[in-house]
Amino acid sequence: MLLTLGPWSRRGFLRAGAASAATFTCLGWDRALKTASAAEAAAPAALDTPPLGDLKPVLQEIVREMEKRVPYASVLVVRQGLKHLQVDDRSREIQDLFPSAGAVFTVWNGAWFEESATSELDPDRLRATGRELAAAVTRQKDRHTIDPGPAAERSFDTACVIDPRKLPLADRLERVAELHRRARKGLGPEFANCEASVSEGMQKSLFVNRTRALEQSVVRTRANVNLFAGDGQRTVNDYLSRGGTGGLEVVAYTDEELDTLAAETRALLKATAVPAGEHQAIGDGSVSGTIAHESFGHGVELDMFVKERALAAQFVGKRVGSEYVNIVDDPSLAGGYGSYFFDDEGVLSGPTKIVVNGVFERGLSDLMSATALGVARSANGRRQDISRKCYARMSNTFFQSGSTPVEELIAGVKQGYLLTKLSHGMEDPKGWGIMVVAHVGQEIRDGKLTGRYASPVGVTGYVPDVLGTVDGISSEFVHDPGICGKGFKEFVPVSTGGPHIRFRARLG
């Protein structure tokens, strides 16, 4: 399941975490900002105490001791959190969301994996957790041998031009306030509210097994501008979101983009429904990325093959789309919101070609599914946090770019819709049906945009049928941030970007 980081995010995903968040609002704002700034000033020390690098020799020692009793052991240490800064017409907010820290130990007993986690990172507690897990394991008859991977000891850090970790909180909040002022400037009385927000996600992790010691610091930044308008008959909203790995340079907006957002919001006041039925459509990067995400993302996460819950298992090596369709998952994609340097099981990031020229090549694996199925690993073992199980999960899943300008794709449509701005998406791995909802649809007639809008627009269909109609892919590529759940839980950051694609499907 994919959830957009547009207007839904603040009202749904971010609000859902309010119980575990520190929130500062406009009531007594100066005092609240000083309090938040003081808390953040202490945060870098807390985030690095003890420094993950200092734990490396301790963890290597623990793994060696554990492997005297079990054939394979590893440990993952994670510290992470999300700071959300928001300014609207009535308030300012600072929220610290979903902070967590701890270590999870994993062992292979010869037949299956067992785990134990702790939120305490002092060496004695870590030793005790590893020792207790290894002692509790009942050794089974060996079914598989776990390959720890080639020797590697590396450290990675996200490159940031404007690093939020190095700017005072007040300066970062002022950047959000300035974005709000620019977005609000010139809006008429029909606009009831304007929201501007920036979220800064920080994650530090350290993975250790007998051959590997990998450390990474990942910075994810995203921004939203949300406009709300009404005409007395209806109320609409529209948004412009962006984000990726990197600093505040990732979320810059031009005045032209903000003016276009305001004009589109006004147009949505007159939006109509799409006549139900099959239509030709062009999906922008957020829509095409979600089609890739739902069709050859969740449906080919290989734990679903192990559980015999994916129809895709019957299509390995078979045609599942037109020759234009090339789908890749790539956690090493520069700037992708779902990017990372290595996964939570110590596999260095790299691209996985899922569909090549319309033929399904392979799925996405974690250590469990790769071991059970006897297939090669991909760098897709991911956890929401150390209290959650590791699953095969997507990162940045997208159609590879083609060679056709977007204008030419539109010119080739007799009657149809240009679909932009993902709302949400879902999939049925067992039946291989998908549902993707675009926030905005623009009518196309005789190769031209008519200026008529529809909102929202749902796209449904059977995966091979939809992908079999793809007959054009644009040359440009855009990033689009998202949050992905496995069902309705296990949320991890992903990217849903890509090129525009042209296809036919049921719209409504």
pLDDT given at position 306:
95
Reported for 167-172, long-range contacts at CB under 8 A and 24+ positions apart, including other chains, are 167/248, 168/37, 169/33, 169/36, 169/37, 169/40, 169/94, 170/33, 170/37, 172/85, 172/198, 172/200, 172/248
pLDDT given at position 429:
87
Q: Residue 34 — very low, low, confident or very high, per pLDDT cuts 50/70/90?
A: low
From 2-16, 19-33, 177-191, 254-268, the region with the lowest mean pLDDT: 2-16
Separation of alpha carbons 109 and 36, rounded Å: 46
3-state secondary structure of 62: helix
pLDDT of 24 > 50? The answer is: no
pLDDT of 21 > 70? The answer is: no
Separation of alpha carbons 240 and 183, rounded Å: 11
pLDDT given at position 47:
56
Q: At what angle do helices 169-184 and 29-47 cross, to 10 degrees?
A: 130
Separation of alpha carbons 40 and 308, rounded Å: 47
pLDDT of 159 > 50? The answer is: yes
Q: What is the average pLDDT across 458-479?
A: 96
The tally of CA atoms less than 13 A away on the side-chain side of residue 498 is 34
Separation of alpha carbons 86 and 53, rounded Å: 34
pLDDT of 235 > 50? The answer is: yes
Separation of alpha carbons 31 and 294, rounded Å: 45
Closest CA to 381 of 151, 132, 209: 209
Length of the chain: 508
Q: What is the average pLDDT across 405-419?
A: 98
SS3 content of the chain, % helix, strand, coil (to 5): 30, 40, 35
Bridge partner list, 53: none
Domain ranges of the chain: 2-263, 277-507
Pair type for strands 415-428 and 277-283: parallel
pLDDT given at position 122:
95
- DSSP count for the chain of H helices, then E strands: 12, 24
pLDDT of 4 > 80? The answer is: no
Enter the tokens of residue 99. Answer: 């902070």
Handedness of CA 493, 499, 505, 508 (dihedral sign): positive
pLDDT of 402 > 90? The answer is: yes
From 38-42, 223-227, 281-285, 451-455, the region with the lowest mean pLDDT: 38-42
pLDDT given at position 37:
66
pLDDT given at position 438:
97
pLDDT of 44 > 90? The answer is: no
CB 484 within 8 A of CB 474: no
pLDDT of 421 > 70? The answer is: yes
Higher pLDDT, 253 or 16: 253
CB 114 within 8 A of CB 107: yes
- Cα 464 off chain centre by: 24
Alpha carbon distance, N-terminus to C-terminus of the chain: 20
Pair type for strands 391-392 and 92-108: unpaired
CB 471 within 8 A of CB 452: no
The pTM assigned to this predicted structure is 0.92
pLDDT of 11 > 50? The answer is: no
pLDDT of 211 > 70? The answer is: yes
Amino acid at 392: A
pLDDT of 8 > 50? The answer is: no
CB 37 within 8 A of CB 30: no
Separation of alpha carbons 422 and 229, rounded Å: 20
Separation of alpha carbons 494 and 477, rounded Å: 16
Pair type for strands 212-230 and 113-118: unpaired
pLDDT given at position 18:
29
Per-residue burial over 170-202, b if 16 or more Cβ lie within 10 Å, else e, is eebbebbeebbebbbeebeeebeebbbbbbbbb
Amino acid at 413: V
In sequence order, what are the residues at sequence separation of 6 or more whose Cβ sits closer than 8 angstroms to the Cβ of residue 165?
A: 44, 202, 219
pLDDT given at position 207:
98
pLDDT tens for each residue of 352-382: 999 999 999 999 999 999 999 999 999 999 9
Proportion of the chain above pLDDT 90, given as a percent: 86
Q: Residue 447: exposed, middle, or buried by beta-carbon count in 10 A (0-12, 13-18, 19+)? A: middle
pLDDT of 9 > 80? The answer is: no
Separation of alpha carbons 259 and 477, rounded Å: 22
Domain boundaries 2-263, corresponding CATH code: 3.30.2290.10
Separation of alpha carbons 296 and 281, rounded Å: 19
Bridge partner list, 2: 425, 484
pLDDT given at position 46:
53
Proportion of the chain above pLDDT 70, given as a percent: 90
pLDDT of 13 > 80? The answer is: no
pLDDT of 36 > 70? The answer is: no
With vertex at residue 328, the alpha carbon angle to CA 247 and CA 238, rounded to the nearest 5 degrees, is 55
CB 498 within 8 A of CB 337: no
Separation of alpha carbons 297 and 330, rounded Å: 12
pLDDT given at position 210:
98
pLDDT given at position 17:
27
Handedness of CA 303, 307, 309, 311 (dihedral sign): positive
pLDDT given at position 506:
97
